[in-house]
Amino acid sequence: MIYGTTTLNAQEGTLIVRNNKKQIVKHHIGRETSVKTDLGLPPTDLFYTIITTTEADKFIVEQLLHGSQEEELHFTNYYYKKVATGLVGVSRAIAGLWYTDAHFICLDPIPYDSTTDVRMY
């Protein structure tokens, strides 16, 4: 996983993607019908655990997560444009490795194909 120009070592199996959708549903009393109004797509939230091998690297990751910049977030076959960091999670040391929970907010909520640069859906 690459955020901007920084390569992050994400723990396999920890990615959580929360897609959001905003809509209002109004029920017409006495008519047995309802109407739905779409309000667009809010940001997509990504949660990951990042592994670092040294305390110095852990501080680099925490500094990155505390920043306010918007960057691209690249995975193997797809990427998100306009990604900001969200809540800074807990860092914990286990067996000589540092595990830091990270939250990324994809302001453009649809992922792009890495080879064609076209939205995936």
How confident is the model over 42-85, as pLDDT tens digits? 999 999 999 999 999 999 999 999 999 999 999 999 999 999 99
Could you tell me which residues are beta bridge partners of residue 44? 106
Euclidean distance between CA atoms 48 and 59, whole angstroms:
17
How confident is the model over 87-106, as pLDDT tens digits? 877 899 999 999 999 999 99
Identify the CA nearest to 47 among candidates 81, 84, 15, 2.
Answer: 15
Q: Fold for 2-113, please state it.
A: Elongation Factor Tu (Ef-tu); domain 3 (2.40.30)
Q: What residues does each domain of the chain span?
A: 2-113
pLDDT for 87 equals 81
* Gyration radius (Cα) of the chain, Å: 18
Contact 50, 83 (CB under 8 A): no
